[in-house]
Chain A
Amino acid sequence: MTEHLKMDEVQPRLLDETTQGAIHRPMPRPEGPLKVSGRATYAAEWKMDNAANGVLVRAAIPKGHYKVDASSVEAMPGFLGVYTDRMPRNAAQGTMNTNPAQIGDEIQYLGQPIAVAVAETFEQARDIAAALKIDYDRDDDVAAGPDTAQQVNEKDDPFDQGDLDRAMADAAHSVDATYTTKGHNSAAMEPHAALAVWDGDKLTVRASLQMLGYNRNELADSLGIDAENLRLLSPYIGGGFGSKLGISPEAIAASVAAKELGRPVRVVMTRNNVFETVVRRTETRQRLRLALDADGKLTGIGQENWQSNLPEEPFAEPVDLATHFLYAGANRRYGQHIAIVNRSAAGSVRAPGEAVGMLALENAMDELAEAAGIDPIDLRVANIPETHPENGKPFSSRSLAECLRQGAEAFGWSARQAPGARREGEWLIGMGVASAARTNILQESKARVTLNPDGTALVETDMTDIGTGTYAILGQIAAEMLGLPPEKVTVELGDTDLPKASGSGGSWGAASAGSAVFLGAKGIRRRLAERLGCTPEDLRLQDGVATGGNNRRPLAELMDAPLSEIGHLETGAKSNDVHQAGYGAHFAEVAVNTVTGEVRVRRMLAAMAAGRILNEQTARSQVWGGQIWGIGTALTEGLDHDPRTGHIVNNDLAEYHVPVNLDVPDLDVIFVEERDDDANPIQAKGIGELGLSGAGAAITNAIYNACGVRVRDYPATPDRIFSHL
């Protein structure tokens, strides 16, 4: 049976009534021991005796046409084949649900996958890929970057409210500044991999993917097969961060080659492939305008951005996503310009929009606070709007002020001094703050929950766990609802044969799939209540015992066969009528070296409000991850594109600088108590990206507070600082 809910109305806070104590509390991920002992089998590790190995062949020119000459490598050891058929230009964008661009013999960026070379072993295939003769018909009219692009698409209808120019002219204090960010790569630990196995016209693919429901349709469409005939398995994923949202070249190539060869084919991306071909976060240029009146109230906000992508690629970095609702101000303008370039596809990288948009906005806010002589926290708190400043919708839970205030207290913000005041030898020390905001999204989800008479339970859904803790929290929700210790609940994920959930992305996974599990368990509670002879409201389940009315019975006495329910959550009016977002505040203390401009982050604190916190440990880990990404965004990470070809030349982990241990100081996280009744029946909001939103700005604002240098081009590498000292 199915327990269905369309989220049109506020639901009772059932998880505050239940008494098992399985939820909220910190609980380690149950699959953790498997992962750290090498027993969690990732896509590429799946043993299959007769599997052949494929390596992607990359285009060596940025633009033109190509033809491969397979005869040039046929005689090489282990050769099985070279295939170009259906090769996609890049991965599908998140939730695309159809095939990604497949452009035949055309090349649009250097590094584009143009063929797959298949051999008995990986080493042989890599060798063949390198030796393969390719005839290029080169087109020299290359748009290597936004500056040389001939085509720039402006967003048709840039949002415009009131008169920003006027507001700027009349302002008591204003900021009009331009910020730039370099491109980013997700750099997930596990490289993209797929193992394709055909059985007649049925295809099974083991892959590393974030959204199986969509990915199944995308792969089927790419191959021209019926989605019914395709099964995807993705039980373990070594990080995704957006780069595994859509089906990507290795899965299509493995499927095509496996069909041709009549045997399983595995394709694993090299680290260089990952940097060159998975979606990048676009570089951005952003013009921020802020107008403040004499009372310290914002009267205007403007954010225009310039970015880049491949032709016809349906994605734009939503740079101004949070700007629309974070602060008040009557006059508002946005604009977006997308240069069409010969660079790899731009797409979702963790916190698309906020990661770079909030970096610029929150720096501009700091500049405004400085110009007006107002404490940066006071400025932010004074400009929190009552309702959505552009469409007037009410907000759901919104604890921004509490996060800023509680965070300031915990961090010791009152000890902050003027720029240049705190010196330790060569180092100047400073503190910075920034707001965090991330739109909260709910997606349709299903999950099957089965309760067994022996007091164990099973949760099944095609939901994925990309290292975030999905196994843990879905088990905890079921355990809490069914009154079982969490270790009695088994969670099966990552299989398209199971009920379809939201997938992992957009920070919506925990709330969406979690609500489906909640509903499934709620259906079981209803049936147990009937058997016990009480109302569902009166039912209490704890440690395998049901209590209700005047009865108290162990589960085993209430059931002689498993009870199974599918929970089905659909989005409803609440997604439209109420504006929902998670909020937070980031604090950072940095030291800036006055000789070299090197920056060391000394400590960070994040105060986060994201509705119900389902598991304090996995939630904290998500925020830590966000803070660390904030360090990378602010200080170290950036894709370097060759100015003539657009090619990403720092395509390995030696030269693309993610923060290392020594870059990451003690990270503090506090959660501000909240329930979001409008969000979903479990009152939780997304937290996977909130921790990154604004985190970098707290650091760059701290740089200013330390040494008086305002860095507007990121990452803030030493060369961008020392020359001003």
Chain B
Amino acid sequence: MRPFEYVRAETRDDAHRADGRIIAGGTNLLDLMKLQVETPERLLDVTRLDMHEIDEAENSVRIGALVTNSDLAAHPLIRKRYPVLSRALLAGASGQLRNKATTGGNLMQRTRCPYFYDTTQPCNKRAPGTGCQAIGGVNRILAILGTSDHCIATHPSDMAVGMRTLDARVEIETADGDTKLLPLDEFYRLPGDTPERETALEPGDLIVAVHLPDPPAGAQAYRKVRDRSSYAFALVSMGAVVSVENGKIASAAMAFGGLGPRPWRDHDAESVLEGETPSRALFDKAADVLLADAKGQGENDFKIPLTRRVVAAVLSDLTGVSQ
């Protein structure tokens, strides 16, 4: 860990300094600093700022950026109306970590690609232009969608998958006091040839909240496949909200973790479902569309058939089709 300055932000303005790095729960940033994957010169501790509330507004819920993963998962409103989010949160990390981890920090957590973690090895995300060791290397947990020749990292968050399913928007306050509301697929960038740029945040920007619109009609589910029962990142995870009317799928939202550099959502795959009678064949067709551009890297090829199975199982559950 390099020596750094620590500043406790007392006001929002303190947090907007472009020459500082925000720290919230610290569960990701501190690990990376110890390894010198991140070397901020100044930490801005935002945990005293007023961003701890969950507020119900008309047609939406606003979750403060400092609400912890534990509190969010346990909140009655979230459990009742957004169970996909509550379950996604509880499927992540461990009880101790969730007590510290915050909503803003969770969105901003960095990839778990092993090569990103080793500063003596090439990594385009950590050291732009040095190359990607994960391609042709150990990549069992890495991405099959949205990758580029420069980076095949996944975004590891479960929470973000739940939020993506629910059309959440991130509320960002810029240094000059403006506020933006970005849906998650605009918030997260694809790697292309600049994998070091992961989000739409500009220096000095602060995430202040996440907005959830009223939940879509239908049943909600979150399913996570992992290498051990707890405390492991997703091999594949899926959040879904599906409603069935008169025997036909009226609406469907599906988001995936473990597949891409951001929580993955594909509206084309969803439209395959809409207006149709649920059946295993239909679910497979949706999976075909979802995975049309999937590219395995060898060790992670299995994610393609595994995703198909998860799609079929989750949709079968939600629509009452027997498997």
Contact = CB atoms under 8 A, between A and B. Distances in A.
B133 A719 contact: no
Contact of B302 (A60, A126, A723): A723
Contacts of A58: 120
B309 A722 contact: yes
Nearest to B316: A595
Given A77-B3, A596-B225, A654-B112, A642 B137 contact: yes
B60 interface: no
Contact of A127 (B1, B137, B225, B312): B1
Contact of B310 (A126, A595, A600, A661): A595
Interface string B206-242: 0000000000000000000111111111010000000
Contact of A657 (B112, B136, B225, B228): B228
B306 A722 contact: yes
Given A77-B3, A642-B138, A650-B114, A657 B227 contact: yes
B36 interface: yes
B229 A660 contact: yes
Interface in A421-451: 426
A661 B229 CA distance: 9
B294 to A, nearest CB: 15
Given A643-B137, A654-B112, A722-B309, A663 B229 contact: yes
Interface string A63-83: 000000000000001000000
B2 interface: yes
Contacts of B305: 722-723
B287 to A, nearest CB: 13
A642 B114 CA distance: 10
A661 B118 CA distance: 29
A660 B133 CA distance: 30
Interface string A405-432: 0000000000000000000001000000
A660 B228 CA distance: 8
B306 A649 contact: no
A635 interface: yes
Interface in B1-29: 1-3
A214 to B, nearest CB: 33
B30 interface: no
Contacts of A660: 94, 228-231
A663 B231 CA distance: 10
Interface string A118-144: 000001001100100000000000000
A636 interface: yes
B313 interface: yes
B97 to A, nearest CB: 10
Given A130-B36, A636-B227, A718-B225, A655 B112 contact: yes
The size bracket of the interface on A is 35 or more
A654 B141 CA distance: 12
Contacts of B229: 600, 660, 662-663
A598 interface: yes
A642 B113 CA distance: 13
Given A644-B137, A654-B112, A719-B302, A635 B309 contact: no
A269 to B, nearest CB: 14
Contacts of B310: 595-596
Interface string A651-673: 11011010111110000000000
A717 B137 contact: no
Contacts of B188: none
Nearest to A595: B313
Interface in A86-131: 123, 126-127, 130
Given A655-B114, A662-B229, A663-B229, A126 B1 contact: yes
A643 B227 contact: no
Contacts of B121: 60, 647
A651 B226 CA distance: 19
Contacts of A723: 302, 305
Interface in B98-120: 112, 114-115, 117-120
A640 interface: yes
Contacts of B133: 642
A659 B235 contact: no
A662 B90 CA distance: 14
Q: Which of A58, A272, A596, A597 has the most CB of B within 10 A?
A: A596
Instruction: List the 8 closest A-B pairs by CB distance, nearest first.
Output: A60-B120, A662-B229, A649-B114, A719-B302, A662-B230, A595-B313, A640-B138, A596-B225
Interface of A: 58, 60, 77, 123, 126-127, 130, 272, 426, 595-598, 600, 635-636, 640-644, 647, 649-652, 654-655, 657, 659-663, 717-719, 722-723
26 contacts: A58-B120, A60-B120, A77-B3, A126-B34, A127-B1, A127-B2, A426-B323, A595-B309, A640-B140, A644-B136, A647-B118, A647-B121, A654-B233, A657-B227, A657-B232, A659-B228, A660-B228, A663-B228, A663-B230, A717-B227, A718-B225, A718-B227, A719-B140, A719-B306, A723-B302, A723-B305
Given A127-B2, A719-B235, 5 more contacts: A595-B313, A642-B137, A643-B136, A663-B230, A723-B302
